[in-house]
Amino acid sequence: MNPNDVKEVFNLINISQEICIAGHKSPDGDCIGSVMALYEFLKPLNKNLTVCVDGAIPFNYRQFVRQGIIADKYDNREFDLLFILDCSDAERLGKFKDVLKNTKKSVCIDHHKTNESYATINIIEPTMSSTGELLYDILKTSGGKLTKQIAEYIYIAILTDTGRFSYSSTSSATHRKAAELIELGVNVAEIDNTVYNSKPSNVVRAFIESIGGIELYFCNKFGVASVTRDILERNNVEMGDVDGVVEFIREIKEVEVSCVLKEYGEKNTKISLRSKNDIDVSAVSVKFGGGGHAKAAGFEIEDTVENAKKILIETFKEQFGE
């Protein structure tokens, strides 16, 4: 993290009145936690704040995001300053992507190694566990007091993007920062219960149906399952609510790469990949126009779930020497 960049970020905040905070579409815990932490940090500075995140907030994060805080649509206006968090490329802003084109000064804060440094100032740290952890480092340099509320948002971002402090991106520094957040008042058990132990039964049923379709290939090293429109409709749930399928597949002992295919439309399939050890799934993801990390990446294929699955199996055939 370049100290001059951070200084310039706070300088830009000082001289800006209309500030937009944007995250990536189909927001996850890191995106929501980071966006909301920055929102809470900027709130007392009496700026006009706009939050842009495309896609439904998953049910387990809804209580952390006050109703009406997120803009419905982008009206093409220009902001003095735009923050883009946890977003590896501008396309991932979804329906808000024009905000980057229309705003002169932008700051991107991210930890995806595939980040294309598309903003005016880019603070990109691929070794960080989460955008939340990186944002925490940045906010700490302000010297201002971080509230319990900010600490909670940062904690949610770190907790969820480290898989409850289990991924290899979790460093001793990550744990030290988590300790500081707890000292600021974060209730660990309460957050855990809200984020992980609060699923409506229909969401769990949709999860079980999705998991029920697991297919294993290449001596069980590659596991794949789909979340289809059918499953969602049958159980009356939103796509964003069915989380953790790809992580669940990875729990199988032999699985090296797990994959979930999400049917967003008849010819719109979103793919998430997880790697347990050495296979870099971000390389595969980039080939298909996506991005991510070595152990967690994603992209879209404009085809049916079944065809996308065939493409994925073919793609990993070589990796597993078949």
Q: Which residues bind Mn ion (CB under 5 A)?
A: 30, 86, 131, 161
∠ CA 301-305-306 to the nearest 5 degrees?
120
**Which of residues 87 and 308 has its CB atom nearest to Mn ion in the complex?**
87
**Which of residues 28 and 209 has its CB atom nearest to Mn ion in the complex?**
28
CB of 234 to Mn ion, least distance (A): 31
The DSSP symbol for 302 reads: S
**Which of residues 128 and 151 has its CB atom nearest to Mn ion in the complex?**
128
Strand partners, 216: 223
CB of 273 to Mn ion, least distance (A): 15
Structure tokens at 313: 């199996």
* Residue that the structure tokens 């699923």 belong to: 199
Which residue type, as a one-letter code, is found at position 255?
V
CB of 23 to Mn ion, least distance (A): 10
CB of 32 to Mn ion, least distance (A): 10
What lies within 8 Å, CB to CB, of 251 at 6+ separation is none
What lies within 8 Å, CB to CB, of 84 at 6+ separation is 22, 23, 90, 93, 100, 106, 107, 108, 109, 110, 119
Cα separation, 293 vs 163, in Å, equals 14
* Residue that the structure tokens 């001793």 belong to: 172
CB of 156 to Mn ion, least distance (A): 12
Nearest residue relative to Mn ion (C-beta): 30
Cα separation, 154 vs 176, in Å, equals 13
Q: Other C-beta atoms within 10 Å of 144: how many?
A: 13
**Which of residues 114 and 269 has its CB atom nearest to Mn ion in the complex?**
114
CB of 44 to Mn ion, least distance (A): 26
CB of 141 to Mn ion, least distance (A): 21
**Which of residues 40 and 110 has its CB atom nearest to Mn ion in the complex?**
110
**Which of residues 22 and 308 has its CB atom nearest to Mn ion in the complex?**
22
**Which of residues 110 and 209 has its CB atom nearest to Mn ion in the complex?**
110
What lies within 8 Å, CB to CB, of 228 at 6+ separation is 210, 263, 305
Burial class (CB in 10 A: 0-12, 13-18, 19+), 30: buried
Strands 81-85 and 257-265, by their bridges, are unpaired
**Which of residues 86 and 209 has its CB atom nearest to Mn ion in the complex?**
86
CB of 109 to Mn ion, least distance (A): 10
3 state DSSP class of 296: strand
Note the Cα 70 to chain centre separation in Å: 16
